[in-house]
Structure 1
Amino acid sequence: MKTMITTPDGQPRRTLVAFHAHPDDEALLTSGTMAKAAAQGHRVVLVVATDGALGLAGSEYGTADELAARRWDEVSASARGLGVARLETLGYADSGMGPQVFPDPPGKRRFVTVPVEEAAEALAVILREEDADVLVTYDAAGGYGHRDHVRVHEVGARAAELAGTPRVLEATAPRDLLVRALHLVARFYRFPDDFDMAGFERAYSARKDITHRVNVLRQAGAKRASMAAHASQASADGDADRTLAAFLRIPRPLYDIVFGREWFRDPAHVGPVSHDIFAGLTEHEDRAE
């Protein structure tokens, strides 16, 4: 006879798999939700698609290979702080930002050059192993449009189909609220010169399309620590500044206001906005052993 696995408060234990493009992507949009789920007794798995070797960083972080190794250490530290039970990488090379198309590095393939079906099957293997209840990916625009983020959306959607994962949540943000919050922050702190405020006005999702809003105020400390773990992505040469560094300079009361909620879109969701990413999963989807 199978015994139901439950959380400390007697609820069915679920498994959340968060799928991200690069080390550090988990910190901004989903770290609070991941920490909240782990604290409630659910199993949290983090899967990173690429090595992050083309991430912007100060020259002290060395070559692309050295930066990739450092970023794996950083995401490992972030995952430990969030209560992640399993950390995996699909092992693809970072595809980079902007119009430049980078050739594949020796022995690897850029994530965007890998067929969706192939990458999706690699992720589906993990989803099946974990009997995942919820998969977190990105919205169709990849949030702010990074090519690897768009591919995470495509690969994640297909992997969920292959593995029969009951729920796919697209990590996003209501763009109107996000822009208002950024303008508020800009009254007190100067963003880097390359910070594209107009880009955020076109990014993420309209508020009407948000289906899940998660209160992560109690996880604000864990979220901030997750951001801080990615020191390479807060670094720059000379007097340049990075967006992550600017976020980390925001004092806690204001930081909690700006980052105290996380938002998701479930294309299959019907009804009012939900505050629980596991709500409504039916009994036959409960995990058992």
Structure 2
Amino acid sequence: MGTIVSFHAHPDDESIACGGTLARAAAAGHRVVLVFATRGELGEPVPGVLADGEPLSMRRSAECYTSAAALGAKRVEFLPFTDSGMMGEPSNDAPFCFWKADVEHAARMLAVILDEEDTDVLTIYDDNGGYGHPDHIQVHRVGRRAAELSAVPVVAQSTINRDWLTRGMKGMADSGTLPEGWSVPDGPPPEFGKPESVITHRVEAVDFTEQKRASMRAHASQMGPDHFMLAMPDPIFAMGMGTEFFIVDPLPSPAATPDVFEELFTPLR
């Protein structure tokens, strides 16, 4: 059995980015560990969800453990940084925010966990953090460096397949299954995800969409029942959220390829 450490910027990112992959790994008997760079202090809470005086950071931290249970993760850790907010906001300059963290210093903190877990696969985000969020970009930078320090065999960059997403929406439109009020975009903006040509692997997790949805529901301070992802009909949720995409570069040598990677990750080409 192997170990996957999944490194994320904020609570709930693990659910959306690669919850299916993690649930599939855990169901197969592999060890799954979640590490968060921040506690998501600057998120926008669902109205009325917090008690009077309840800090959002405490609620979001607690939600991570409920999410971990839904996915089958066995360990949850937090690095000591604060949420940086969206790119260009004044919060990007806060002294203890993750965006301002020294990459080497933060990577050494993460490397301690990677070493303790004898990590086979580390999941991070692509170099633009999926959509340009500063904390997500920093997850990429810190994660890559931590993997070097700990000699992790596989670093899998979670990303969004722009082309697959557009094809899926066009297919629903052609078959008349596109939900009312939805429209097919000309294409996702260029800062959103990556083109299929640079994506190397996918993980088929359609059989684990219930665990993924339960993980998302655990983050009730951020996603209420009417959140557009949670409100998707089951077939559309499975189509849109049941396959997760990754960039693995460089590929591990055949002699050093962990079994958990070969078992879960399917090459696109």
**What 5-or-longer segments of structure 1 have no aligned partner?**
1-12, 281-289
Question: Which residue of the partner structure matches residue 89 of structure 1?
Answer: 78
Paired residues for 1:58-73 under 5 Å: 58-60=46-48, 61=50, 66-73=55-62
Q: Could you tell me whether the CA contact under 8 Å between 1:179 and 1:201 is conserved in 2? A: no
**What 5-or-longer segments of structure 2 have no aligned partner?**
254-258, 264-269
- CA offsets 1:71-124 (integer angstroms, 9 cap, x no match): 11111101111000111011210001142122777xx81111110001000000
CA distance in 2, matches of 1:226, 1:266: 25
- What is the CA distance between 1:235 and its match in structure 2? 4.8
For the pair 1:39 / 2:1, whether they are aligned, the reply is: no
Q: Could you tell me whether the CA contact under 8 Å between 1:93 and 1:104 is conserved in 2? A: no
229, 253, 275: which one aligns with 2:235: 253
CA distance in 2, matches of 1:81, 1:144: 26
CA distance in 2, matches of 1:277, 1:212: 14
- What is the CA distance between 1:126 and its match in structure 2? 0.2
Question: Which residue of the partner structure matches residue 267 of structure 1?
Answer: 249
Q: Could you tell me whether the CA contact under 8 Å between 2:5 and 2:32 is conserved in 1? A: yes
- What is the CA distance between 1:182 and its match in structure 2? 5.3
- CA offsets 1:158-209 (integer angstroms, 9 cap, x no match): 0001111111000012111123445659941547xxxx99765531111121
Question: Which residue of the partner structure matches residue 266 of structure 2?
Answer: none
Q: Could you tell me whether the CA contact under 8 Å between 1:124 and 1:162 is conserved in 2? A: yes
Q: Secondary structure at the match of 1:92?
A: coil
144, 147, 150: which one aligns with 1:163: 150
Question: Which residue of the partner structure matches residue 132 of structure 2?
Answer: 145
Q: Could you tell me whether the CA contact under 8 Å between 2:37 and 2:78 is conserved in 1? A: yes
Q: Could you tell me whether the CA contact under 8 Å between 1:189 and 1:246 is conserved in 2? A: no
Q: Could you tell me whether the CA contact under 8 Å between 1:53 and 1:68 is conserved in 2? A: yes
CA distance in 1, matches of 2:169, 2:35: 29
Question: Which residue of the partner structure matches residue 278 of structure 1?
Answer: 261
| % identity of equivalent residues | 43
Greater Cα offset, 83-92 or 55-64: 55-64
Paired residues for 1:1-289 under 5 Å: 13-60=1-48, 61=50, 66-102=55-91, 109-181=96-168, 184=172, 187-190=178-181, 200-235=189-224, 245-269=227-251, 278-279=261-262
Q: Secondary structure at the match of 2:7?
A: strand
Q: Could you tell me whether the CA contact under 8 Å between 2:65 and 2:76 is conserved in 1? A: yes
- What is the CA distance between 1:63 and its match in structure 2? 8.3
Greater Cα offset, 149-158 or 217-226: 217-226
Q: TM-score, normalised by structure 2?
A: 0.85
CA distance in 1, matches of 2:97, 2:169: 32
CA distance in 2, matches of 1:147, 1:182: 28
RMSD of the alignment, in Å? 2.8
Greater Cα offset, 156-165 or 254-263: 254-263
| 4+ residue runs over 2 A deviation | 58-65, 179-187, 196-202
Q: Could you tell me whether the CA contact under 8 Å between 1:16 and 1:45 is conserved in 2? A: yes
What amino acid does structure 1 have at the position aligned with 2:221? S
What amino acid does structure 1 have at the position aligned with 2:127? A
May I ask how many residue pairs the two structures share in their alignment? 252
Greater Cα offset, 54-63 or 72-81: 54-63
CA distance in 1, matches of 2:93, 2:229: 32
Question: Which residue of the partner structure matches residue 267 of structure 2?
Answer: none
- CA offsets 1:17-76 (integer angstroms, 9 cap, x no match): 000000000011210000000111111000000010101223433689711111111111
